Amino acid sequence: MSDAPQLPAPTWFVGCGNMGGAIVQGWRSAGIDLSQTIVIRPSGTPVEGVRTVQRFAEAGSPPKLVVLGFKPQKLGEVAPELRKLLTAKTVIVSILAGVEAATLRQRFPGVSAIVRAMPNLPVLIRRGVVALYSEEADDALRQQIAEIFAPLGFAPWMPDEAKFAAVGSVAGAGPAYVARFIAALTKAGVERGLSREIASTIALETTLGTAWMAASTGETMDEVARRVASPKGTTQAGLAVLDHDRVLDQLISVAIRAAAERGAEMAEEAKAPSLAEAARLP
């Protein structure tokens, strides 16, 4: 018998694009049974290993667990129809960036519990980060949700929604920033005369090797940098540029602040009823 955790049956994915698909793939490669999981997405584009339908009407019996995997802007459109299909036993896991637990509770008043999860794309290869937060999950549910997400990587419960958002700012978006850094290293290699192919392989392997080495030795990033840079040497000259006026730290901090501000805007937008809903209001 497999040691893999069991998903509640049935589990629905409402929307399963980039991120939903990455979670499904991570779970599949962890040996999690997806035979009672259903994806509902308008295009009906098949998701490997999971029954995929286009409409709620085709999904079958009410879900025990629902993963909200659509874009936050779609909440106003999806919630009115979805909420009619949920029961007092349904647990919602929302991966919607920026949409707060209180807003989700308003949108889905009758469900058993609402959990926010903020994954990042490497869940695909089970080396992701998944921040977890809930205002109402009891210990048993916390344990169950932690067990479900642990096979995808590091999945910590956060004590409050601000810290949950902070993990999202760094880890959720992080792969995009790391991708830009690797691309910049690649471009620098090309500028120094390497072919794009060699430069991109070297940039990728250097990033991977550095992260892997630090993860296995437990060294801090300062220690790693110190071990590479001998006093008055070549690396030291390069670090002096990055460290001048904390230019790199400042740049990353400003980028993450911009993303956090956008998150706050999205949280506000999700609180407002959609145009369709507003049209139905008296």
Task: Give bridge partners of residue 131 from the DSSP assignment.
Answer: 118
Instruction: Lay out the sheet containing 153-154: strands in order across.
Output: 51-53, 37-40, 11-14, 65-68, 91-94, 113-119, 128-133, 153-154
Q: Nearer Cβ to ligand NAP, position 84 or 196?
A: 84
**With contacts defined by CB under 6 A, how many residues of the chain interact with ligand NAP?**
27
Binding of ligand NAP at residue 19 (CB under 6 A)?
Answer: yes
The first and second tokens of residue 224, run together, are 């790693």
Q: For residue 36, what are its two tokens?
A: 């009672």
Does 71 interact with ligand NAP (rule: CB under 6 A)? yes
Instruction: Quote the least distance from Cβ 69 to ligand NAP, whole Å.
Output: 5
Stretch 109-138 residues interacting with ligand NAP (CB under 6 A): 118-121
Name the token pair of 96: 């919607």
Q: Is 174 in the site for ligand NAP (CB under 6 A)?
A: no
Return d(Cα 3, Cα 19) in angstroms, integer: 25
By CB under 6 A, residue 96 contacts ligand NAP: yes
User: Does residue 41 bind ligand NAP (CB under 6 A)?
Assistant: yes
Which C-beta is closer to ligand NAP: that of 150 or that of 239? Answer: 150
Candidates 5, 7, 11, 14: give the one binding ligand NAP (CB under 6 A): 14
Q: Which is nearer to ligand NAP, 71 or 196 (CB)?
A: 71
Helices (H), 84-233: 101-107, 139-149, 161-167, 174-191, 196-217, 221-228
Q: In whole angstroms, how close is the CB of 249 to ligand NAP at the nearest point?
A: 23
Report if residue 5 touches ligand NAP, rule: CB under 6 A: no
Binding of residue 17 to ligand NAP (CB under 6 A): yes
Select from 105, 95, 99 the least CA-distant residue to 129.
Answer: 95
Pick the closer one to ligand NAP by CB: 2 or 43: 43
Q: Does 65 bind ligand NAP (CB under 6 A)?
A: no
Secondary structure (3-state) at 185: helix
CB burial string 57-89: b at 16+ within 10 A, e below: eebeeebbbbbbbbebeebbebbeebeebbeee
Task: Between 12 and 199, name the residue whose CB sits nearer to ligand NAP.
Answer: 12
> Does residue 45 interact with ligand NAP by CB under 6 A?
yes
Query: Is 80 an interacting residue with respect to ligand NAP (CB under 6 A)?
Result: no
Name the residue with the smallest CB distance to ligand NAP. 17
Beta strand 113-119 with 128-133: parallel, antiparallel or unpaired? Answer: antiparallel
Instruction: Give the dihedral sign, CA 250/133/92/104.
Output: negative
Interaction site with ligand NAP (CB under 6 A): 14-20, 40-43, 45, 69-72, 74, 77-78, 95-97, 118-121, 172
